């Protein structure tokens, strides 16, 4: 999945992250830094959700409609693992 929109969003997030690094280097007010970190986290979550939606609409749909039960099981297991990892973070 290579979307120009996704790349644009990630580059914007990268810029915000660099701003946070500068804030830390300049000893900015802690709460301001935390708010910026939360904004980056929210932006990353949005990108992640968009990528997941794309994956569900393409790869997962193809596997579920396909004839290979092992492939169906594999993609379903991947989705479960992604959600399990997100709850551990």
- What is the number of residues in the chain? 89
Give the CATH number for residue 46: 1.20.58.1000
Write the pLDDT tens digit of every residue in 28-57. Answer: 999 999 999 999 999 999 999 999 999 999
Measured between alpha carbons, how far is 59 from 67 in angstroms, rounded to an integer? 14
Range of the domain at 17: 4-88
Measured between alpha carbons, how far is 17 from 70 in angstroms, rounded to an integer? 40
Measured between alpha carbons, how far is 88 from 66 in angstroms, rounded to an integer? 32
- The pLDDT, as a whole number, for residue 34 is 98
Number of domains in the chain: 1
pTM of this prediction exceeds 0.85: no
């Amino acid at each position: 999945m290579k979307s120009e929109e996704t790349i644009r969003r990630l580059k914007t997030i990268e810029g915000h992250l660099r701003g946070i690094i500068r804030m830390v280097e300049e000893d900015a007010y802690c709460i301001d830094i935390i708010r910026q970190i939360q904004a980056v986290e929210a932006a990353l979550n949005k990108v992640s959700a968009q990528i997941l939606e794309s994956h569900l609409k393409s790869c997962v749909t193809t596997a579920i409609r396909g004839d290979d039960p092992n492939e169906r099981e594999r993609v379903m297991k991947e989705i479960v693992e992604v959600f399990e990892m997100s709850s551990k973070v």
